């Protein structure tokens, strides 16, 4: 495998951007340029700005006050994952006030599972009603309700671990959210994977942030199905084991999130080249170097090691979604960006078409959902060089970061800031309206097979203990 230097340098330059008192009327959005900052072309001191938005030492206090008192009820009543309209609101973020912020529901399973409850995931869009505006250099923010996670910690634990392990992932913090004065509970505040994140991670010099960014909405195993771009946009050929697109907006498969209006970039030729090359290396008609030239294999083995170690199976390795792909203009190579990890640490069982899927505690090191493994995971099995690199990444993770002591320290640090907020929210079963504060406290324990609401979910301490033991045994058995 060809080792390359990862271009993860932070751009560092601009002053604090204006994100406070705006000129909107309390009766509704003022529109125009209310609350604008330096604009799209500005360079930012990303580290300083994001440290303000995603503080690690306290829970952010967020208040969302809609101009229309019935807005939240309207959103809930009309909730449709394919049609989620924005409503304007005043946002108070740790004391900073911003008018005319677009707010809508978000999610799929996390949306319908929460019924008519308050703890629904939300998206904040700072440009929806004020063109060109940013909030501390950001266009959007996400508030995730921690669906199926009584600890409300899994998403942040995963992203923090990813950052320390060199896997590209958004930043995260926690936020206590009130809507129109009513407490909605503790949410994970998550960075949007978009053009602003590309600027932060890759810089703007020589168009480093101008590459194609794809989001996998559903059914993206990265298998080669032919040269028709529609096959990778949610419309695979007949006979392929992938869900057909049911979204009336066509937002399925790999959805291009940048350069959508550029006819030279929006051809899916780069995706087709990638999946064809994966297929050719698997069948032996191409060498591994051909794939490494267009896909960062060093970054990939770390991505697989992290996801498999945490049994994060609602991902590329199980349900074939919940990830981004970015093709870096600097070297023309794709890399994964981690996304939607609230079901990591073993809360997601493999889809039913994996008939031999093991328990998440013993998920296989190479094919965590059993056969057939995703093509890239199959390549790790088939290629001895990749296999050795992958085994080394798992060994490094277990030696340095995914240890019982290190994980306990991370959990203790989170609980130090979360406990008080969860105790204050004791009257609100959350998230989403299923879990109590007692569930939250048990969720960090080492007790086996604890029932939280209607489902048995492994407590975090127990999952870590059992998963480490399984991985160590598998390394001895299966790695060279």
The pLDDT of residue 37 is: 52
Can you give the pLDDT at residue 452? 73
Q: In this structure, are residues 368 and 349 in contact, taking their beta carbons and an 8 Å threshold?
A: no
Which of the residue ranges 18-22, 159-163, 298-302, 339-343 would you say has the lowest mean pLDDT?
A: 18-22
Query: In terms of pTM, does the model score above 0.85?
Result: yes
- 104-108, 215-219, 366-370, 406-410, range with the lowest pLDDT: 104-108
**What integer pLDDT is reported at residue 422 of this predicted model?**
72
> What is the pLDDT, as a whole number, of residue 3?
39
How far lies 81's CA from each of 45, 160, 255, in Å?
Answer: 35, 28, 16
- 353 and 160 in contact (C-beta within 8 Å)? no
**In which band, very low, low, confident or very high, does the pLDDT at 30 lie, cut at 50, 70 and 90?**
very low
- Here the contacts of 442-448 (C-beta below 8 Å, separation 24 or greater) are 442/150, 443/149, 443/150, 443/151, 443/153, 444/151, 444/153, 444/411, 444/415
Q: Which of 99-113, 255-269, 339-353 has the highest mean pLDDT?
A: 255-269
Taking residues 351-376, report their average pLDDT.
87
Q: What percent of the chain has pLDDT over 70?
A: 86
Q: Look up residue 293 and give its two tokens.
A: 């030239």
Distances from the Cα of 115 to the Cα of 107, 119, 189, 206, 379, angstroms: 13, 9, 21, 47, 41
> What is the enclosing helix (H) or strand (E) of 464?
helix 460-478
| Residues 52-96: tens digit of each pLDDT | 999 999 999 999 999 999 999 998 887 777 788 999 999 999 999
Q: Between 417 and 423, whose confidence is greater?
A: 417
Pairing, β 172-179 against β 60-66: parallel
455 pLDDT exceeds 80?
no
* pLDDT tens track for 221-253: 999 999 999 999 999 998 887 777 888 888 899
> pLDDT band at 358, cuts 50/70/90?
confident
pLDDT band at 420 (very low <50, low <70, confident <90, very high): confident
CA distances from 97 to 71, 84, 94 (A): 19, 24, 9
Q: Is residue 434 a contact partner of residue 454, using CB atoms and an 8 Å limit?
A: yes
Q: Indicate if the pLDDT at residue 34 is higher than 50.
A: no
Among the ranges 91-95, 370-374, 418-422, which has the highest mean pLDDT value? Answer: 91-95
Residue predicted with more confidence, 165 or 146: 165
Tell me if 92 sits within 8 A of 21, measured CB to CB.
no
Among 100-114, 177-191, 297-311, 409-423, which range has the highest average pLDDT? 297-311
Question: SS3 for 389?
Answer: helix
Rounded Cα distance, 314 and 340, in Å = 8
**Would you state the pLDDT for residue 191?**
98
What's the pLDDT band for 1 if we cut at 50, 70, 90? very low
Least-confidence region, from 6-15, 53-62, 211-220, 294-303: 6-15
pLDDT of res. 351 = 81
What whole-number distance in Å separates Cα of residue 30 and Cα of residue 100? 7
Spatial CB neighbours of 264, under 8 Å, sequence gap ≥ 6: none
Q: With beta carbons less than 8 A apart as the criterion, state whether 76 and 35 touch.
A: no
Please enumerate in sequence order all residues whose Cβ is within 8 A of that of 203, keeping only pairs 6 or more positions apart, or say none. 7, 9, 10, 11, 209
For residue 133, what pLDDT is reported? 95
Q: Per-residue pLDDT tens for 89-125?
A: 999 999 999 999 999 998 766 666 665 567 889 999 9
- Measured CA distances, 372 to 187, 214, 282, 317, 400 (Å): 35, 24, 14, 10, 31
Between the alpha carbon of residue 193 and those of residues 12, 145, 258, 260, 322, the distances in Å are 19, 18, 11, 16, 12
Provide the percentage of residues in the chain whose pLDDT is more than 90: 68
pLDDT grade for 432, boundaries at 50, 70 and 90: low
Q: Is residue 349's pLDDT more than 70?
A: yes
Residue 209's nearest CA partner among 47, 49, 44 is: 44
pLDDT-derived band of residue 41, with 50, 70 and 90 as boundaries?
Answer: very low
Max CA-CA distance within the chain? 67
Instruction: Work out the end-to-end distance of the chain between its first and last CA atoms, rounded to an integer number of angstroms.
Output: 17
Cα–Cα dist 170/240, whole Å: 32
Task: Provide the residue ranges of all domains of the chain, joining segments of one domain with +.
Answer: 46-197, 210-400
Q: Which two tokens stand for residue 193?
A: 């994977």
């Amino acid at each position: 495998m060809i080792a390359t230097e990862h271009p993860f340098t932070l751009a560092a330059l601009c002053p604090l951007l204006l994100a406070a008192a705006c000129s909107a009327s309390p009766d509704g959005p003022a529109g125009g340029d209310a609350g604008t900052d330096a604009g799209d072309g500005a360079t930012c001191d990303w580290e300083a700005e994001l440290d303000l938005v995603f503080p690690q030492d306290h829970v952010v206090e967020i208040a969302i006050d809609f101009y229309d008192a019935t807005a939240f009820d309207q959103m809930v009543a009309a909730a449709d994952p394919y049609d989620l309209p924005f409503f304007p609101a005043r946002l108070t973020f740790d004391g900073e006030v911003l008018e005319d912020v677009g707010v809508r529901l978000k999610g799929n399973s996390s949306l319908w599972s929460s019924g008519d409850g308050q703890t629904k995931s939300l998206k904040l869009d700072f440009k929806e009603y004020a063109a060109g505006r940013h909030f501390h250099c950001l266009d959007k923010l996400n508030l995730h309700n921690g669906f199926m996670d009584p600890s409300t910690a899994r998403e942040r634990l995963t992203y923090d671990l990813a950052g320390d392990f060199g896997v590209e992932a958004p930043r995260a913090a926690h936020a206590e959210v009130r809507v129109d004065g009513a407490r909605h509970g503790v949410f994970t505040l998550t960075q949007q994977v978009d053009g602003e994140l590309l600027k932060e991670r890759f810089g703007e010099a020589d168009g480093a942030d101008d590459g194609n960014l794809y989001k996998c909405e559903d059914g993206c195993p990265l298998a080669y199905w032919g040269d028709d771009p529609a096959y990778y946009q949610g419309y695979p050929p007949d006979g392929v084991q992938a869900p057909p697109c049911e979204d009336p907006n066509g937002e399925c498969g790999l959805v291009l999130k940048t350069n959508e209006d550029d006819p030279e970039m929006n051809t899916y030729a780069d995706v087709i080249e990638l999946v064809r090359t994966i297929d050719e290396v698997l069948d032996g008609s191409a060498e591994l170097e051909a794939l490494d030239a267009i896909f960062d294999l060093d970054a990939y083995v770390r991505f697989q090691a992290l996801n498999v170690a945490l049994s994060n199976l609602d991902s590329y390795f199980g349900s074939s979604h919940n990830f981004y792909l970015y093709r870096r203009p600097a070297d023309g190579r794709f890399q994964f960006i981690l996304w939607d990890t609230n079901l990591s640490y073993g809360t997601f069982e493999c889809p039913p078409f994996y008939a031999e899927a093991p328990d998440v505690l013993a998920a296989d090191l190479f094919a965590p959902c059993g056969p057939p493994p995703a093509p890239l995971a199959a390549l790790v099995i088939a290629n001895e060089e990749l296999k050795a690199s992958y085994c080394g990444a798992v060994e490094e993770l277990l030696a340095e970061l995914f240890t019982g002591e290190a994980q306990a320290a991370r959990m203790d640090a989170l609980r130090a800031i979360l406990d008080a907020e969860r105790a204050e929210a004791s009257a609100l079963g959350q998230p989403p309206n299923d879990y109590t504060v007692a569930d939250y406290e048990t969720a960090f324990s080492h007790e086996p097979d604890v029932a939280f609401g209607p489902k048995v979910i492994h407590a975090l301490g127990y999952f870590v203990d059992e998963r480490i033991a399984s991985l160590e045994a598998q390394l001895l058995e299966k790695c060279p």
